[in-house]
Structure 1
Amino acid sequence: MRVRRCPRACVRGVLPAVLTLAVLPAPPPPLPWSPVSVAGTGDHGGGAVPAGGDGGTPAVGRAWPVGARPRVLRGWEPPATVYGRGHRGVDLAAAPGTPVRAVAAGRVSFAGRVAGRGVVSVELTGTGDPPLRTTHEPVRASVDEGEEVAAGEVIGAVEPAGSHCTAPCVHWGLLRDDVYLDPLILLPPWLLRGGPPRLLPVLGVPVPR
């Protein structure tokens, strides 16, 4: 087999690419809310789990519940004790009427009203036994209990009242059985940062022939 050597012109073309890689900007700083923070307890009880989540939560999400990358008004704040104060979910800024979507494929396990607020819950397919379950409120459901939904499919709309936020929002929760987890662990890093990774052109490199 004959080995082809890189001619001097090729070296001159590759060198700018190497130098370009050396001066690329550093990666962005971590997000102010961690997608892998510790797990906590349910809003109405439930057991705590060790720090770092349950160790088996897959990043199955393919869409945010609202918008492309909504503003997080309040992040995950696990309580120190089972019934301690905290925030067992994430509040996402969303105007009334904003479509609410399933973050991943699953089955609607509940669609109705709880304490005067509209709630939609989805059991996520392929996430173990018991399966992971997302909750969304206040949401006016556009799906029925037992209905299968795809990732990104609209399951309802944000209601104008019933939120505990100071600004219009949707509260997004995640449970495995009766244990609440940080819902952001469902989203892969590229979705947390606003979109899939993209390859940038490197100037000075000759086009292959």
Structure 2
Amino acid sequence: MRTMRWARTAVRLVLLVIMALAALLAPPPPSWLPAAAPTPAAEDDGTAPAVGRAWPVGVRPRVLRGWEPPATVYGRGHRGVDLAAAPGTPVRTVAAGRVSFAGRVAGRGVVSVELAGTGDPPLRTTFEPVRASVAKGDEVAAGEAIGTVEPAGSHCTAPCVHWGLLRADTYLNPLTLLPPWLLHRPSRLLPVLGGAAPG
């Protein structure tokens, strides 16, 4: 009986040591991740409530360029996030809402969606360059396709979709729409007692 208790205690200690080592050796989060959990009404710090339920393209796409708020209204910056996406990739809404614009702006296809239940004025996401499959006024569900990435019109050096977020005329960080479980890649545990790592 004592041996079994000692064995259980030893296993617990080994697991605690492994978890502590995994936490210490884990790489730091990428710079484009929001630093803290967003708060519902924090327009002044560039965050928004985490109402998102899906990435606009793919599953955890590569962020080519993060959100860089300008120092002044007309200053230099990057008012959105560029996500790697090949031409023809479906573009999806991150949350439920209504299409407020679907058309061309300066030769680029743009789709804008007002997100339901996000206050007054509501949050509005924008995507470009996108060949729209929806029209102004359409109701869309979270994760629903609203178009595909166009082959031309992107400002990125690699194929991408630009994802923006606004409340009225104020640009916010669109990544703060996504809850942590969508932003972070799942952790991988180290093998126990020299076993092979999972493939």
Normalising by structure 2, report the TM-score: 0.82
Map Cα deviations across residues 74-94 of structure 1 (whole Å, 9 max, x no partner): 111111111111110011111
- Out of 51, 65, 70, the residue aligned to residue 60 of structure 1 is 51
Higher helix share: 2
Match of 1:15 in 2: 10
Query: Partner residue of 1:41?
Result: none
Q: Which amino acid aligns with 1:53?
A: G
How many angstroms does 1:17 deviate by? 2.1
- Which structure 1 residue ranges, 4+ long, deviate > 6 Å from structure 2? 200-204
Distance across 1 between alignment mates of 2:28 and 2:192? 26
Of 111-120 and 22-31, more deviation after overlay is shown by 22-31
Unaligned runs of 5+ in 2: 37-42, 194-199
Q: Is the 8 A contact 2:18 2:190 kept in 1?
A: no
Worse-matched range after superposition: 10-19 or 86-95: 10-19
1:123 aligns with 2:122: no
Match of 1:100 among 87, 91, 100: 91
Pair 1:170-2:161 in alignment = yes
Name the aligned partner's letter for residue 133 of structure 2: S
Matched, 1:33 2:32: yes
CA distance in 1, matches of 2:49, 2:6: 44
User: Contact 1:68 / 1:194 at 8 angstroms: preserved in 2?
Assistant: no
* Number of positions where the alignment pairs a residue of Structure 1 with one of Structure 2: 182
Q: Do the aligned partners of residues 160 and 104 (structure 1) sit closer, same or farther apart at CA in structure 2, a change above 3 Å counting?
A: same
Q: Which residue of 2 aligns with 1:77?
A: 68
Whole-Å separation in 2 of the counterparts to 1:119 and 1:14: 59
> Do the aligned partners of 1:17 and 1:203 also contact (CA within 8 Å) in 2?
no
Are residue 191 (structure 1) and residue 190 (structure 2) matched?
Answer: no
SS of alignment partner, residue 70 of structure 2 = coil
- What is the alpha-carbon distance in structure 2 between the residues aligned to residue 180 and residue 91 of structure 1? 15
Shift in Å, 1:14: 4.0
Residues 1:139 and 2:139 aligned together: no
Query: Is the CA contact (8 Å cut-off) linking 2:51 and 2:178 kept in structure 1?
Result: yes
Contact 1:36 1:185 survives alignment (8 Å): no
Structure 1 residue identity aligned to 2:18: V
Contact 2:46 2:171 in 1 (8 A): no
The secondary structure found in structure 2 opposite 1:104 is coil
| Structure showing greater Rg | 1
Offset of residue 19 of structure 1: 2.6
Structure 2 vs 1, CA of residues 183 and 84 (structure 1 numbering), >3 Å: closer, same or farther?
A: same
Q: Which residue of 2 aligns with 1:86?
A: 77
Report percent identity of matched pairs: 73
Return the TM-score normalized by structure 1: 0.79
Judged with a 3 Å threshold, the aligned counterparts in structure 2 of structure 1 residues 148 and 36 are, in CA distance, closer, same or farther, namely: farther
Cα deviation per residue 1:134-173 (whole Å; 9 max; x = unaligned)?
0000000111211111111111000011111111111000
Q: CA–CA distance in 2 between the matches of 1:174 and 1:182?
A: 6
* C-alpha displacement of 1:18: 3.3
Residue 170 of structure 2 aligns to which amino acid in structure 1? V
CA distance in 2: counterparts of 1:203 and 1:34, whole angstroms: 30
Report the residue type matching 2:28 in the other structure.
P
